[in-house]
Structure formats: structure tokens, C-alpha cells
Amino acid sequence: MTVARKLEFEQHKLAKRLRRQVGQAIADFGMIEAGDKVMVCLSGGKDSHVMLDVLLQLRAKAPVPFELVAVNLDQKQPGFPEHVLPQYLQSRGVRFTIIEQDTYSVVKRVIPEGKTMCSLCSRLRRGALYTHAAEHGFTKIALGHHRDDIAATFLMNLFHHAKLASMPPKLLSDDGRHVVIRPLAYCRESDIATYAGAREFPIIPCTLCGSQENLQRKQVGKLLQQWERESPGRIDQIVRALGDVRPSQLADRTLFDFHALGRRSDAPSPDVHAWLAGEPHGDDGANDAASIASQPLRILDATLV
């Protein structure tokens, strides 16, 4: 087999794997239903490009009809090549909308120099996209987060926010108006990068937050990459664990009733004050405690033979 033939074979295999993983995620979490109008959020990065490409392929053979519309938010960042995405989408015959909103100036004005911009930028971007989705009747909002993003978010919440949480493959927005889906939830970032390179998508880097090297997400990403090098499959294990939660093996009292576990029917409810105050229950307990405290300490000198 020639080098070119082998490369073509590997690219075909990769494309097939990505389609299978996206299709599996859609089926597992009920991401897309018949008649859905899906807003594919296209930032111009590799992840959103691959998401759109794979969804277009799946739609051609999907068991249910649904619409796909690519939506890009032009945040008015200096040097943003505003012609790139329209030209690309037109060449592929994809329906699209470009939203223009100067969130860049807001972020630069509000966030002090040297501070992380991602949080505010993300909120402003999400608000603009949610508003557009509501105004144009979209039933689903598709984001390009992948398997590695899900693992990284889990570790960030664990390390920095003391909670077990991540990016769910499907969620309802806080206001209850939008269903957000992540079709790439089962896809490896390395596969996405390889596929995007092979397809030669017109990638637009984020010059706003992409230049900030000390972000928590980048640090966690480097940690995951190191783990993956030392123990291949570690990221897969983390993501698989998120789908196998066992409340009785954790310590969240809102998810599991530890009080009821092995409790006698006649036992009183625990009294936190009594346990912390050090007040013995009843006369017998007091007498026993006093008796123990009054006994002299005896040290026996044993002789070994």
C-alpha cells in the first residue's frame, strides 16, 4: 500500500469513527428529535468545524428529519477575518447567520489587564446566542465541547470549586428555555484536530482568550495530557466514571439517605447539638463517664521470660 493510499485509508477510518461517536452520543442522550431546528454554534475553531461537518454527514442518513443552521457570533475582535466563514459556508451550501455584537470592547473595558477574560466573554456570548435562538425558533443549541473538555471541566470543578460536576452532554439552560447539546461528547480532541487538519477547514483562532497562557483550563489540560502520556486511556476512564455515579459511595446527603441506612425503627433522630456539646444522655451515661474518669491510671510492669 502506497503512503497516499494508507493516509486516505486512515482518514476514512477516522471519519467513520467520529460519525459513530457522534451518532452514539445523539442516541444515548436523545439530543436530536424529528423536526428539530438545531443551531450549530460555529466559532471558527477546529471543534465547531468538525461538529458541523459530522452533523451534516449524519443528517443525510439520519432516521429523523431535522434542520441545521450554522450561527457565528462576530464579537468584533481586532483582526477578525469576517469574510472567512461566510465564504466557506456558502461554498458548502450551508444555511448560516452571522450575529454582530461588540462583546470584545465590553470585556476589555471591564476586565483589568492581565486578568482572565473567559468567564465574562463566555457569559456575553452565551447571552447573545440564547437570545438569537429564542427569536428564531431553534429547538436545540449545539456546542462543540468534546470528551477532553468534559474531563477537564470535571477536574476544574473538583480542584477549584470543591464539587463533582462537569459539562453534561445535554442540559436545560438555567431559564428553562433552551436545550443545549454537545454532539462531540464522546470524541477525542486529538481525533478532532487530526480530522480538521485533513479536511483543511478555515480555522479562526481566538485572539482574545487564546493568548492567555495561565488559564486554569489550560493548566488542567496540560495535566490531562501528561496523565494520558504516562497512562494511556486515563481520560477515557475519567469520562466513563461520570456515567457511573454511585451516590451511596460518596458523601452527598442530598443524594443518599445515610440516616436511614441500618437505622433501627425506634432510634431517635441524631441531635447535632448533643454530639457537639459533650452532654451525656441520661444518668447511666453520666455515671459511667464519671466512673471511668475517676479510676486511677494503673501501669502494669510485665516481665518477659
Q: Given the DSSP bridges, would you call strands 179-181 and 170-172 parallel, antiparallel or unpaired?
A: antiparallel
Q: Is the CB of residue 69 less than 8 Å from the CB of residue 97?
A: yes
Closest of 88, 62, 85, 63 to residue 75, by C-alpha = 85
- How far apart (Å, rounded) are the C-alpha atoms in residues 98 and 229? 40
Closest of 150, 227, 238, 237 to residue 187, by C-alpha = 150
Q: Both ends of the chain: CA-CA distance in Å?
A: 82
Is 209 known to sit in a ligand binding site?
yes
Query: What would the grid cell of residue 212 be?
Result: 492567555
Strand ranges (E), 16-79: 37-41, 67-74
Is 121 known to sit in a ligand binding site?
yes
- How far apart (Å, rounded) are the C-alpha atoms in residues 152 and 167? 9
Q: Is the CB of residue 186 less than 8 Å from the CB of residue 95?
A: no
Per the annotation, where are the binding residues?
118, 121, 209
Per the annotation, where are the binding residues for [4Fe-4S] cluster?
118, 121, 209
